[in-house]
Amino acid sequence: MNAISTPLARDLAATMDWWRDAGVDMDFTDDATVWLAENEPVEALAPSQKKPESGGQGAAAAQSENEQSHVPETVRVDLLGDSPPASLEEFRTFWMEAPGLDAIGPRGRIAPRGPANADLMVLVCDPEERDRDALLSGQQGELLSRMLTAMGMDEGGVYIASTLPRHTPMADTGAIAAGGMDEITALHIRLAAPKRLLALGPNTLPFLGHDRAQDFTSLHEINHTSVNTPLLMSEGLDAMMSMPRLKARFWRRWIEWSAGK
């Protein structure tokens, strides 16, 4: 029996054929990785594919390629202007009407909800795709409602907000935050003045002054000029929905965090 006729080999070949027929031949992480490409022998590489020699035309070509791939730095904009909101009510009006908070404009934005000085503020990256009249009115909101009930908290007494005013899939939150939205988030938290802050999803990190690559479990508070708010960072609601084990991890961290407050 040769290798290709074994059950394992047939199963593997059928799996690869299935993915190939489906048009999937890349594994998208931070960088694309080819799954099904043939290995090319070194001697078959064209001269243009070989490592350029130091100096001369090779170095010039490499420099030109680096210049073309250079991404300009994000330009920071003063989104608050000369008269920033001075109260939570003014901030809500600003959130819904200020033209510079996103590329689309005020139409279709979703407002935060809940009272000021809440025992808990829940911060997510952006509204759900089907949100129209209320923030987190879909499946993620249903999960959050069940979580709050299990925590023994009245949802009406929790302040629920997002770092972006509308659903923004595949958002470059690092660039958006660096462009000035981190300052908006900081003001929002100051005006809401919660006793504790629960931030859900690593995409919220840049708006809190942290890098997405940072270990969010090590963050314990958000610093303001006059007050430090206890902070619990956790995976996003969408991730918890797709991976139940993350719910268990959240509960362990929530119990430990709550016990210390």
In a domain, 37, yes or no: no
CATH number, domain at 238? 3.40.470.10
Q: Report d(CA 127, CA 166) in Å as an integer.
A: 6
Backbone angles phi, psi at 84, to 5 degrees: -65, 155
In a domain, 25, yes or no: no
Host domain of residue 123: 88-259
Residue with tokens 């022998």: 41
Is 260 within 8 Å of 230 (Cβ atoms)? no
Q: Report d(CA 236, CA 217) in Å as an integer.
A: 13
Structural domains of the chain, count:
1
Task: Report which of 255, 63, 95, 217 is spatially closest to residue 166, judged by C-alpha positions.
Answer: 95
Copy the structure tokens of residue 121.
């503020």
Instruction: Indicate yes or no: pTM above 0.85.
Output: no
In a domain, 20, yes or no: no
In a domain, 82, yes or no: no
In a domain, 182, yes or no: yes
Residue with tokens 């003045």: 193
In a domain, 178, yes or no: yes
In a domain, 69, yes or no: no
Packing angle of the helix pair 182-192, 88-97 (nearest 10 deg): 150
Backbone angles phi, psi at 138, to 5 degrees: -110, -145
pLDDT of the chain, 261 residues: tens digit per residue:
455 566 666 666 666 655 555 455 555 444 554 545 555 444 444 444 545 555 555 555 555 555 555 545 778 999 999 999 999 999 999 999 999 999 999 999 999 999 999 999 999 999 999 999 999 999 999 999 999 999 999 999 999 999 999 999 999 999 999 999 999 999 999 999 999 999 999 999 999 987 666 565 656 667 655 568 999 999 999 999 999 999 999 999 999 998 876
Burial of residue 116 (CB within 10 Å: 0-12, 13-18, 19+) is middle
In a domain, 155, yes or no: yes
